[in-house]
Chain A
Amino acid sequence: MTPTRRLVAGVTFALGTALSPCRAQTTLAVRPLEYSRFVLTNGLVVVLNEDHSSPLVAVDVWYHFGAKDETPGHIGFAHLCEHLMGEGSANVPVPQKVFIQSIGGTSTFWASTTEDITHFNYTLPRNQLETALWLESDRMAVPLTQADAEHIGTVREAVRQERAQRREGPVYGLAEPSTIGALFPGEHPYGNDPLGPMTDLNAASAGGIKGFCAPYYVPNNAIIALSGDFQSAHIKTLIEKYFGGIGRGAVPERREIPAVGLTSPTRLVLEDPRARVATLRFAWPTVAYAAPDWVPLGALAWLLARDRTGVLTKLLVYDRGLATRVVATNFDFEKGGLFQIDVIPRPDSSMSTIETLVDSVLAGFSAASVRAGDLQAYARADAVNAITSLQTRAARADTLAHGELFAGDPAVYAKQVNAVARLTPADVGRVAHRYLAANRMVMSMIPAGRLELISKPELPYTRVATPGLKP
C-alpha cells in the first residue's frame, strides 16, 4: 500500500530503540529489546519479542524484495505484487486487511514496499495470533494466487491512483524520485522509485508479473517478527506447524550495487504549477544502515538542523531570517544511503544567498564546530528517542526485523544508539568533510515559470521533466 523510505536519523529521527534506560547524569545507556531468534529448516527467520503488558500481538512479515530488485522492463513490479499479495490467498477469500480488521486487527499502514523490502505489519488481539499465523503461512505457501488478469486490472488501477496521489498529486511530489534519480543515475538499482512510472506495469502480463515476483516470496527470503503477549515456546510450535512445511525456493541472484559518488555538482530545477512556496534541497549519497559512518552522519544531521540551536537552523531561521525551516535527514537503504538538507525560504529571500551560506557552513564544518556538550545532548536525545519510539509492538517487531535483515543482528539499533555516546567531535567533522562534498545535488523547487527564484541561475542546470503536471 504505502511505499516508504525508512527514516533513520535526523531532526525527526523515527527509528530508535529500547526500553530500559540505565540512569546516568547526562548519558543514558539503552538496553536492547529481549528477543529469541531461530531459523526453520526451510530458511525462514523468526524473531520473537515477548511483552505481556497488554493483550496484543504485532505481526510483521518481511520479504527481501523491493524496488532495487526490479530490472529494466519490470519497474514497479515489487509494489504491484505487494498489492496482489494483499488480495487474499488460497484459503483467505478476501483481502487480508479486510480479514484482519474483521478479527479486531489494526495497522497504521498494513503493507509497504521500499527500495529493499516488502512487508506486512499489523497488531491484533492475542487470541487471534494463531489465525494470523495461519493467514500469513497461507499467503507464503502459494504466493500470488490472485494474480489473474481481473485482479491485476483492478490492482494496477489502484497503483495508478496511489502514484497520482503521492507523486503527481502533492506539490513537489516528484522531488523524491528526482533526487534518487540524480544520486543513483542510469540503471543503478537504487534509482528505481518504488512508486515507479506505470509504463512497465501497463505492458505487463499476468504470467510476466507472477514469474518475476513469485521467486521472492519464499521462506528462505523472509523474516517473521512478532512482538507481544504470547509464550515463545508455544508460538515456536505453531510457527513450525504453519510455516515448516513450506518449501524453499530459488531466490534470483541479487544485482550488484555499484558504488556511487557524483563526479560533478548536479543542479536541478523542479517546477510545479500549483506551488506557492519555493524549497531548496541539497543531497549527497552516503552509507548503509550497518556502516560505521551511519552513526556520526545521524549526529551531523541533528547538529545542523535541530530546533533553534542547530547550526543551519540558527543561522538561516533565527540570525539571518532567510528561512522558515531547515530539515536535515540521513536516510538509509540496505546498501546505500543519502543525506538531504531541505531549506524552506521566506517568500522574499534569495535562494542563492541561502546556498552560499549553507556551503560556507558545510565547508567550514570541522571538529571545532561541535560545541562542548553538543554530543552529550545528542546522545541523550538519541537514547530517549530510542525509548519513546518503541512504544508500539508494531514498531518493536519492525525494528527487530530491520536489524536482522540489514545488519544480521535484530538488536543492532541499541548498539547504534550506544555508539553515539562514544562519538567524538572529530568523528562528526570527518564525515561532514568526507560525505557533504562539493559534488552534490542542488534542487531548486519553484512555482512553474518563476525561474528568477532559482538558486545561482548563472550555473548550468537541468529542468526536471514533469509529465502529468500542466499549468
Chain B
Amino acid sequence: MRCVAAAAIASLSLARLGLGQELDRTKRPVAGAPAPFEFPKIETQRLSNGLLVVVIENHSLPLVAVRAVVQADSLDDPIGKEGLAALTSNMLPEGTTSRSAEQIASEIAALGSSVTPSRFTTIPQNLAKSLELMADMLIHPTFSGSALARIKGTLTAAKQRELQGPSTLPNRVFLARLYGPDHPIARAVRASEASIHAITRDDVVRFHATRYRPNMTTLVVVGDVRAAEVVAVASKVFGSWRPGELPAIGTPVHTLAPTTIYLIDRPSAQQSYVFVGTLGPARASKDFAALEAMAPILGASVSSRLLNNLRERHAFIYAGLPLAVVWRRNGFPSLIGGSVAAATAKTDSALIEWLGELRGMTRRPPTAEEMKLARSWLVDALAAQTETDDLIANRVTSMLQSGTPLDFYNSYGGRIEAVTSTEISAAAAKYLDPSRLVIVVAGDRQVVEPLLRAANIAPIVVVDDAGKP
C-alpha cells in the first residue's frame, strides 16, 4: 500500500468533520434483547443390543459430526498397565476380521475425510460408509501382533515427547497429591515406557472384550441428518454387536494432607510452572451452581480476579488458567484449581497473590458486576460454545463421559441465574480451605527455594520427577 496523496487527505478530513458532529463516541450503543438460548433438541433411541443412539438434527450446513463414546478411557487402565486404553483404541484401525489395515486406510482415503473408531466429521453423503468402517473397527479388530509392537513403540515415543512439555511432570505430581497416587485420575496421566511395555496382547484382547460392548457405548450423531435414517443405518452396522456385563468400578478414597509446596527442580528455567488446587464435591452436589459460577469470577475468565491480579496488574504471568472447577465422572471429587507459568523471580509473589485471592473469595463476595460476568461467561456464551456440529458433538461426548444427564442444559441457565453472591462466598469458605491445598512448583530451585522459604507460605518438600521426596 502506498502513501496517500495530500489532496485526498484534505478532502476526506472535511468529510470527517461533517460526520464527527453527529457521532458521539463516548456513547456506547444500547444492545437489544438477547436471543434466548436453547440447547439443540436431543433425540435418543436404544437399539435392542443396548447401544444408545443420540441424534441432534441441525440442517444449517451439509455436515455431520459423529462420536462413538465407549466406556474405555484412561481412567479404566488397570494398575501397572497404564496406557492400555490408549493402546487398545490405537489398535482398532490395524485390521479387522474382514479388512486389512491397508484396506481400511484406502477406503477411508477414498471418502476424503478421516474416520477413527471414536469420531469423524464429514459430509452427509459419507455418513453410511463412515459408520460402517467405524463399526467394523470397534467390533471386529484382530489385534495383529506385529502392529501391536509398532503401536507400542509409537505410544511410548508419544509419551516421551509428552514428557518434554514443561508442565507434564508437575501435573502428574499435582494429581497424585490431590487424589492419591493409585487413584484412576492420577494414573490416567501416568502411562510410561514401563507400563506400556508390561501390556500383552492378551491384555488388549481382554480389555476390548470386556469394555467395548454396545450396552456401554453411545453413538452421538449431530448434523444434517434425519434421526430415523441414522437409527436405521446404526441398526444395520452395529446390530450384530453383542452386549456384555459392565465391570464394577471401585472408588478409592484419599484424604488431603495439610497444605504443602512440592518443589521440583528445573535448573535455569526462566519460568516456574505453578499448580495450586484442592478437591471439591462431585457434580451432583447442591453446591454445583455456586462453584460453577465462582470459577469465572475467581480464575477461569480473562477478567477474573486471579488473571487480573497475576497478569494485568503485576505481569507475573503471560497466561494460564489459575482456577477452574473440573467435574469428574463416577462421583469422583472435582478438582478446584489450576496452573500458570510465572516468571522465576516472581514465583513467591505470584503464589502470595494467588493464595490471597483464594482467601479473598470468602471475605469479599462477588460484586453485582462480577455476578453479571459469571452469567454472561457461562450462559450468554453458550450459543457460541455450541455454534457447530463438532462443538455440540464434543459437548454431548463430555457429558456422557462425565455421567452428566443429557437434559442438563435444559435447567443449566436457570440454575446459574439463581445463584447468589452469598452462596458463592459460602461455597468458597467451604471448599477453598487454605489449610488443605496442594501446591506444586517446577522451577529453578536455586532461585525459587530461598524465595519461597522467605515468604513462609507453607512447608516445602523437594521432590523428584516422580513426586518422591
Chain A residues with a Cβ under 8 A of chain B: 1, 19-21, 23, 26, 28, 41-43, 51, 53-56, 64, 90-91, 94-95, 97-98, 101-106, 123-128, 130-131, 134, 137-138, 141, 153-154, 157-162, 164-165, 168-171, 220-221, 241-242, 244-254, 274-277, 306-309, 318, 321, 324-325, 344, 346-347, 373, 377, 379-385, 387-388, 391-393, 468-471
Contact = CB atoms under 8 A, between A and B. Distances in A.
A132 to B, nearest CB: 9
B26 A91 contact: yes
Given A141-B25, A251-B3, A307-B105, A381 B15 contact: no
A250 B3 contact: yes
A23 B62 CA distance: 11
B31 A248 contact: no
Contact of B2 (A102, A157, A251): A251
A128 B2 contact: no
Contacts of A245: 15-16, 18-20, 23
Contact of A127 (B31, B113, B125, B311): B31
A471 B270 CA distance: 12
Contact of B25 (A41, A43, A138, A347): A138
A43 B12 CA distance: 11
9 contacts: A54-B387, A101-B377, A103-B31, A103-B376, A103-B380, A104-B376, A130-B29, A162-B318, A277-B161
Contacts of A244: 15, 19
B1 A221 contact: yes
Contacts of A127: 31-35
Contacts of B411: none
B318 A158 contact: yes
Given A91-B28, A391-B387, 5 more contacts: A102-B372, A125-B380, A245-B20, A344-B157, A377-B110
Nearest to B8: A248
A136 to B, nearest CB: 12
A387 B318 contact: no
A434 to B, nearest CB: 26
B1 A220 contact: yes
Interface stretch (B71-79, B163-171, B181-189): B163-171
Contact of A384 (B20, B34, B112, B372): B112
Contact of B157 (A94, A308, A346): A346
A379 B19 CA distance: 50
Contacts of B88: none
Given A169-B271, A387-B123, A104 B161 contact: no
B195 interface: no
B154 interface: yes
Contacts of A91: 25-26, 28
Residue of A23, A106, A393 with highest tally of chain B CB at under 10 A: A106
A384 B122 contact: yes
Interface residues of B, number: 83
Given A104-B376, A158-B318, A168-B270, A134 B28 contact: yes
B387 A169 contact: no
B102 A381 contact: no
A98 B303 contact: yes
Residue of B34, B165, B270, B377 with highest tally of chain A CB at under 10 A: B270
A134 B19 contact: no
B35 A392 contact: no
Interface of B: 1-4, 8-9, 12-13, 15-16, 18-20, 22-23, 25-26, 28-29, 31-35, 60-63, 101-102, 105-106, 108-114, 121-123, 125-126, 150, 153-154, 157-158, 160-161, 163-166, 267-268, 270-271, 301-303, 311-312, 315, 317-319, 341, 343, 372-373, 376-377, 380-381, 383-385, 387-390
A344 B301 CA distance: 36
Contacts of B163: 276
A387 B145 CA distance: 38
A220 B8 CA distance: 12
A325 B460 CA distance: 41
A324 B153 contact: yes
Nearest to B307: A98
A101 B302 contact: yes
A277 B271 contact: no
Contact of A277 (B13, B164, B319): B164
A130 B28 CA distance: 9
A241 B303 CA distance: 30
Contacts of B301: 101
Contacts of B26: 91
B380 A164 contact: no
Given A97-B302, A128-B31, A246-B16, A161 B317 contact: yes
Contact of A98 (B2, B15, B302): B302
A377 B25 contact: no
Nearest to A97: B302
B324 to A, nearest CB: 15
A248 B122 CA distance: 45
Given A169-B270, A346-B153, A391 B61 contact: yes
Contacts of A251: 1-4
B4 A220 contact: yes
B99 to A, nearest CB: 13
